[in-house]
Amino acid sequence: MTEQTRRYFGTDGIRGRVGDGPINPDFVLKLGWAIGRVFAKEGHSKVLIGKDTRISGYMFESALQAGLSAAGVDVYLLGPMPTPAIAYLTRTFHAQAGIVISASHNPYHDNGIKFFSGEGTKLPEKIELEIEAMMDKPLVTVESAKLGKAHRVADAAGRYIEFCKSTVDSKIDLAGLKIVVDCANGATYHIAPDVFRELGADVVVMGAEPDGLNINQNCGSTEPRLLQAAVLENQADLGLALDGDGDRIIMVDHRGELVDGDEILFIIARAQKNAGHGQSAIVGTQMSNLGLEQALDKLGMQLHRAKVGDRYVMEMMRQQGGLVGGEASGHIICLDKTSTGDGIVAALQVLAEVQSSGHSLHELRSAVTKYPQTLVNVRINKMVEFRSNPAIANAVKAVEAELGDEGRVLLRPSGTEPVIRVMVEGKDATLTNQLANQLAETIKTLLDA
């Protein structure tokens, strides 16, 4: 399914501002029914629903439940749960699908609906197309005797906590580690602190008082400044910042320095290699830092670059047979542990390596020497195909020639607006910044002419 054939689905479900189409109760009710009709073709079905902590989750949970019931599908309500927990529970409940009500790292006034298959993976595009086609049909309620029933899963959090702990060796004891955990006032608020405490860590908790409006507000993986300060203030060994739905992780070392997804990916990949069960194929994205690629190369491992987005990372992991992949933003996928990006699981793999190696997080991340990256958004009058423009190609070649083997250039279009994202990476920050802005001006001049 190409972007042009999608009316509702993006690369990660359906997302928007609450109250605006399609993120309104009428649409979500019909969406629940459409999903139910598609999955009810296989006979009696059950679907799990979980959500993050934003206030609109109550409304959309009820709308989805009503739509699914009208289609004759049983609903299992998980309450506030991280996105990866819903993927895991969908598998263990042998459900036909899992639904997540979340807008991830966005502010509270946005929300979204995303889906997992019965295997805990993103829905196949074929199923998304079927759901979109069903949205065009009139909503017809099944006869009363066949209406779906609703069940609340009281022990969902406990099940997922035990699963997270099972992803590291039972001998791993985090005693002696002082950790600051920022839950982003999101879906991990009642889970992440318990996972790390039960494994023995001394946990200082932040961002675990959700009120429906404060999700991701000055906290979490997209706003880690307060976490950096808290690590220093508490003289902690490290800090962990999750995002609102718990599928991203950014870390902070004992110096208060950020450790991003590229560095986390490297630490996990190297640990697996040292343990004798790593894979040579590691999957990042077009935005993954050149320093990560070089650090992996020294270990005899190859970085494969997917398009930006965890869906594309997962696709390439399957193609290359890789077990570890992720993005600098903190989406880390450990396919030998679970079926999707999971912030808590990724953090546990790093903590296990800290304990078993005897090295601090700062020491573990030091093998990656990151290159300065400058990203400039070029807004143009209208989006046009720029990749085949010879003048732009020549401008890119000129920048690449100046960078030589110690840098790279990436141009990619925004998927939602007439913007071209220009990224230049190189060893010298001043030169990198200068070349990025120079290239951006050239592109704007050429395309707006």
| Integer angstrom CA distances of residue 200 from 237, 349, 394 | 14, 15, 57
- Closest Cα to residue 10, out of 188, 149, 132? 132
Give the integer Cα–Cα distance in Å for 104 and 102: 5
Give the integer Cα–Cα distance in Å for 227 and 20: 33
Question: Residue 368 in contact with residue 292, Cβ under 8 Å?
Answer: yes
Torsion of CA 13, 15, 18, 22, to 10 degrees: -70
Secondary structure of 185-246 in the HEC alphabet? CCCCCCCHHHHHHHCCCEEEEECCCCCCCCCCCCCCCCCCHHHHHHHHHCCCCEEEEECCCC
- Closest Cα to residue 240, out of 188, 317, 300? 188
Q: Tell me how many helices (H) and strands (E) the chain has.
A: 14, 18
Q: Which long-range contacts (CB under 8 A, 24 or more apart) does 440-444 make?
A: 440/376, 440/378, 442/392, 442/395, 443/378, 443/380, 443/386, 443/392, 443/395, 443/411, 444/378, 444/379, 444/380
State both tokens at 232.
């220093």
β 373-379/419-426 pair status: antiparallel
Instruction: Pick the catalytic residue from 69, 104, 117, 221.
Output: 104
Catalytic-residue membership of 45: no
**Catalytic sites, residue numbers:** 104
